[in-house]
Structure 1
Amino acid sequence: MIKLDQFLKLVGIASTGGQAKLMILDGDVKVNGTVEIRRGRKLVSSDRVTIQGRTFEVGDVIK
C-alpha cells in the first residue's frame, strides 16, 4: 500500500508533499473515478489514479 500523496510524488506529478496536498485538496485527483480529498488515502494495486488528464494504475507503478 502507498498513500495518495506519496503516489503523486512517485509518478512525478507532484515534486513535493505540499504540492501533492494542494492538488488533492483542490479536488484535482480522482481515485477510481471519484474525486478524493484525503491525502492519506491508502491505495492498493487495483486502484486507478487520474490527474491532469493522465490515469495511473497503482499496480503498474508499484511492483
Structure 2
Amino acid sequence: MAVPKRKKSRANTHSRRANWKAAPIALTTCANKACGQPVRPHTACENCGHYAGRQVLEV
C-alpha cells in the first residue's frame, strides 16, 4: 500500500479543501402558467401539484 513520504503542509491541505463548497439549489419556474412558483427540476410543484404540464398531485 502506498504511504506518503512527507507530511502534507497545512497550507496544502487547506488549499485542497477550499474547493469543498456547497452548490446552490437549482430552481426552475412551475410549468403551470397560473402558478409560476420556483420549483426544483424534475419534481412536482408543491404549490399547485403540476408536473410536465399536467396535474399529478392533489393540492
Both structures adopt the same fold (TM-score exceeding 0.5)? no
TM-score by length of 2: 0.24
TM-score by length of 1: 0.24
* Higher fraction of strand: 1
* Higher fraction of helix: 1
Q: Which has the higher contact order (CA 8 A, sep 6+)?
A: 1
Work out which of the two has the higher radius of gyration on C-alpha atoms and give 1 or 2.
2
